[in-house]
Amino acid sequence: MIKHIYGEDLFTMSILDWFIFGQIAQEKTTEIKEDLENRQKQIAQLQKPATDTYSYVLPSNAVEIFRWRSLSRVYLNNINKKKAYGLCLFILMLIILTGFLTDWIFALVILLVIIVLALFISIKPSEVENIITDKGIYTSEIFFPWEMMKDFNISKLLDFNLLVIETKTSRLSQIETVIKEKDINTIREAVSRFLPTTKTLRRKWVDYVLLLVARLTR
């Protein structure tokens, strides 16, 4: 004879005991079912083709929707040279002071960062080709599939219009492409077929540096 955990016969279990027993059995069944579903999702994720990463080749079966040429990034195109020289002199004095107060190695690192940043924001970049397709966006010789993108917005930074796309990956959080004023509506309509529009645009620290330098040198 099978005994209950309290030593009672299964046939003499009370209604409350049967209810508790049924609840435990139902909870265990639910746990097993959820665990099985999670394992099936993990297996499906592993078997899914790697379409959520960018590549350097435009798919041959991609259907072109819109194509345009633009600068590869934004830059400071009309700065006041006197103000720029004054800003550089101030930064140089700050570096020297920092070197005396702390360490020359730290000062040299700051100097290197400033030089690289100055070159980046003041030199006119090269032009790149951009293509919107039914498979994704091809820009700066890199193809980004729609699967890795989350949403988009069109914003303005300095004198440039930007197509800003938020991604689902941590390696590359944003994709930025310079667009022309006359192409804004066409590009917005094309991208909105695949991505929703976001109202909250997240700025990068480089954008704030550009805005600050532009304010100080114009």
Identify whether residues 164 and 68 lie together within a single domain. Answer: yes
Quick check: 10 pLDDT over 70?
A: no
Mean pLDDT of 173-198: 93
Identify whether residues 148 and 196 lie together within a single domain. Answer: yes
| Domain membership of residue 165 as a residue range | 64-77+124-217
Identify whether residues 128 and 42 lie together within a single domain. Answer: no
pLDDT in tens, 123-164: 788 899 999 999 999 998 899 999 999 999 999 888 889 999
Residue 104, in any domain of the structure: no
Rounded Cα–Cα distance for residues 23 and 52 (Å): 42
Q: What residue type is 89 in one-letter code?
A: L
Rounded Cα–Cα distance for residues 132 and 106 (Å): 44
Angle at 121 between CA 151 and CA 148, to 5 degrees: 20
Identify whether residues 71 and 24 lie together within a single domain. Answer: no
Output the pTM of the full model: 0.61
Mean pLDDT of 59-86: 82
Identify whether residues 69 and 165 lie together within a single domain. Answer: yes
Identify whether residues 22 and 71 lie together within a single domain. Answer: no
Quick check: 199 pLDDT over 80?
A: no
Identify whether residues 73 and 129 lie together within a single domain. Answer: yes
Q: How far is CA 155 from CA 9, 72, 177, 198, 213, in A?
A: 75, 16, 11, 11, 19
Rounded Cα–Cα distance for residues 65 and 45 (Å): 30
Residue 43, in any domain of the structure: yes
Tally the domains of the chain: 2
Identify whether residues 39 and 128 lie together within a single domain. Answer: no
Give the least confident one: 18-32, 104-118, 158-172. Answer: 18-32
Identify whether residues 137 and 184 lie together within a single domain. Answer: yes
Give the pLDDT score at 27.
65
Backbone angles phi, psi at 135, to 5 degrees: -100, -25
Using pLDDT thresholds of 50, 70 and 90, give the confidence band for residue 186: very high
Residue 70, in any domain of the structure: yes
Q: What is the CATH number of the domain that holds 147?
A: 2.30.29.30
Quick check: 95 pLDDT over 50?
A: yes
Asked if 191 and 144 count as a contact pair (C-beta separation under 8 A), the reply is no
Identify whether residues 163 and 188 lie together within a single domain. Answer: yes
